[in-house]
């Protein structure tokens, strides 16, 4: 399975890097391909390293202005013109999406895939990996949107919330019929 992971390129502490590395190792050992923003820095590097060291493939989609930070040695690297093209290519190349901890760029990517799902433009499974409770506030906001009628589909049809890496990958593999 090609699993797109939206996540930060920042250098983060152990409470975020440990679960990210654990997810990456599970992905690699499962024979999956990481589809990611292509950067070789911060949490993006942690995940790419973990996938590659565990036998998985790396498919990066960087962007012109970040190409200098693109990972060398990826199995495939595409350089997009701009962030909009990058998002489109990441989603095109993915069978499923995992949203890890991140900043405004990650949030932008997350809301775009959820908006596409909401309107029926994709049926790819989406997991929000709520490492260390990072997305507790967002989860509450999504529930409020659902409760107050802002979502035309049940929240459970849009996104699966996982607290641990093993649960995230298990959900994706089950959704794709992989045992």
Domain boundaries, the chain: 2-173
Q: Which residue has 């069978």 as its token pair?
A: 95
Separation between Cα atoms, residue 121 and residue 131, nearest integer Å: 28
- Residue 165 CB partners (closer than 8 Å, separation 6+): 19, 20, 22, 23, 26, 129
- pLDDT for residue 143: 96
* 23-40 pLDDT tens trace: 999 999 999 999 999 999
* 90-108 pLDDT tens trace: 999 999 999 999 999 999 9
> CATH classification of 2-173, choosing from 3.30.470.160, 3.90.79.10, 3.40.50.300, 3.40.50.450?
3.40.50.450
For the CA atoms of 86, 89, 93, 96, what is the dihedral angle to 10 degrees?
A: 60
The answer to whether the CB of 35 falls within 8 A of the CB of 61 is: yes
């Amino acid at each position: 399975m090609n699993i797109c992971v939206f996540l930060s390129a920042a250098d983060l502490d152990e409470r975020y890097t440990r679960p990210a590395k654990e997810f990456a190792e599970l992905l690699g050992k499962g024979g999956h391909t990481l589809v990611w923003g292509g950067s070789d820095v911060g949490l993006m590097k942690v995940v790419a390293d973990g996938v590659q060291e565990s036998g998985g493939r790396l498919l990066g989609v960087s962007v012109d202005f970040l190409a200098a930070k693109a990972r060398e040695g990826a199995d495939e690297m595409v350089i997009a013109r701009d962030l909009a093209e990058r998002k489109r290519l990441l989603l095109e190349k993915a069978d499923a999406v995992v949203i890890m901890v991140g900043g405004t760029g990650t949030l932008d990517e997350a809301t775009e895939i959820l908006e596409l799902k909401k309107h029926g433009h994709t049926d790819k499974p989406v997991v929000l990996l709520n490492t260390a409770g990072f997305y507790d506030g967002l989860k509450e906001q999504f529930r409020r949107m659902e409760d107050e009628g802002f979502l035309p589909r049940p929240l459970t049809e849009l996104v699966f919330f996982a607290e641990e890496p093993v649960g995230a990958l298990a959900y994706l593999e089950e959704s794709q019929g992989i045992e």
